Structure 1
């Protein structure tokens, strides 16, 4: 399996997707009223897709996943994002070195200060994911993505694509247990020829949430964070 998609639930996929495609210099792939998709090409072979499926209403649960954007020249990056439709937002961050913004549907994200660990990340520096047990969940996500442990931007366990490019997946101690549906989630795709992985995932502590009749299955990781496993 490999990590393929970052997925935002969207009330207006075209509006939200166009913002993020411009913010991350991503190539649009699908542009429909109910679905917008774009691709961040990291190398000739490594990419991440951004997916914005339409939902009837947004989750009101506290966010457990968000993108941290690389801010090589942080003030310039922030100014450009504000012109694209982002807004400053206070989530209690205090006097930190990063800047917190919200996208056009009020999803908070950070623009980081430049750090050596982000040098080869591309436009997304990190993907912090809340976890009830970061060490356990780092092993889980490494197993299902093929990503490997790496030096992070803090003290939390971190993973990265084995090519050494792209964002860090940072497993962060959760401020509270999971409740409600995540508004952002990750998708992984089975490799060609890979057998059904349900039993393996259940044995690792995942929970099967659904997906009958769809070309993917919906699971939750051991901390309850939803993710989809796409067909090969």
Structure 2
């Protein structure tokens, strides 16, 4: 049994508008309905076990009150591509953002609703990830988070130190999942979280039970009666276990 990381879930006041931004940013398409906008490659089928990790933008009345510790990092293939992508994102409505990064080779931006993300300088490790290089989660103990999420999704741990852990699908496809040791976690939170789905043929309730045995706990974010289950990982990062198709 295992889970598949299907999307990064981002909160917004205007899901359709922010979805259009991310679709243009990633070279994908957006589809809106009932307060949710899916941003994915053309022809995307989320039930496909080899489908890429996508972005789901959800409308909420007050995004500022939604506190999650995750953000996206975008890949570039050359210095020229980095410069071109940052300029294009600025034209689309992104703005420079300061999160105490200092003098670094990557660029930190905020999308039109203030969600912080990074445009990375070219890195060999991200050459085949697609437009999203990594989903980054701030944490206190990267090693412990790598153990939990590695077992949860059967992902391969490529690096695990006191400061950083890096995981990727055992198939070697799609973005990495990075856990970054971050002091003062309550001061650095972003409005995104992970959505996972049981692999085809697996049972949602069984997967939820397995996650709880690994250290996850039930979480209440006001979701009400829904088809997905909201849990928190051992450091309190909320995530959703979707119902399989």
Does the pair score TM above 0.5?
A: yes
| Residue aligned with 2:17, SS | helix
Name the counterpart of 2:61.
56
The CA deviation at 1:174 is 2.7
Change in Cα spacing, 1:139 to 1:12, as seen in structure 2 (3 Å) is same
Q: What's the RMSD between the two structures over aligned residues?
A: 2.5
Partner of 2:15: 13
5+ residue gaps, structure 1: none
Query: Distance in 2 between the 1:67 and 1:94 partners?
Result: 19
Three-state SS of the structure 1 residue aligned to 2:147 is helix
TM-score norm. by structure 1 comes to 0.89
Match of 1:209 in 2: 219
**Residues 136-166 of structure 1: CA distance to partner in whole angstroms, max 9, x if unpaired?**
11111122223211259x9611111222122
Report the counterpart of residue 114 of structure 2 in structure 1.
Answer: 106
Matches within 5 A, 1:25-174: 25-28=27-30, 30-32=31-33, 34-40=35-41, 45-60=50-65, 64-72=69-77, 73-150=81-158, 156-174=164-182
1:12, 1:33 within 8 Å by CA — same for their partners in 2? no
Residue 34 of structure 2 is aligned to residue 22 of structure 1? no
SS in 2 for 1:66: strand
Alpha-carbon spacing, 1:84–1:179, altered in 2? closer, same or farther (3 Å) = closer
Q: Deviations over 1:102-151 (max 9, x none)?
A: 10001111111001111111111111111222111111112222321125
Provide the residue aligned with 1:185 in structure 2. Answer: 193
Instruction: Name the SS of the counterpart of 1:47 in structure 2.
Output: coil
What are structure 2's unaligned runs of at least 5 residues? none
With normalisation by structure 2, the TM-score equals 0.85
| Higher alpha-carbon deviation: 212-221 or 178-187 | 178-187
Is contact 1:2–1:144 with CA below 8 Å preserved after alignment? no
Aligned length: 229
Matched, 1:230 2:230: no
Distance, in Å, in 2 between the alignment partners of 1:180 and 1:212 is: 27
Q: Is the 8 A contact 2:195 2:241 kept in 1?
A: yes
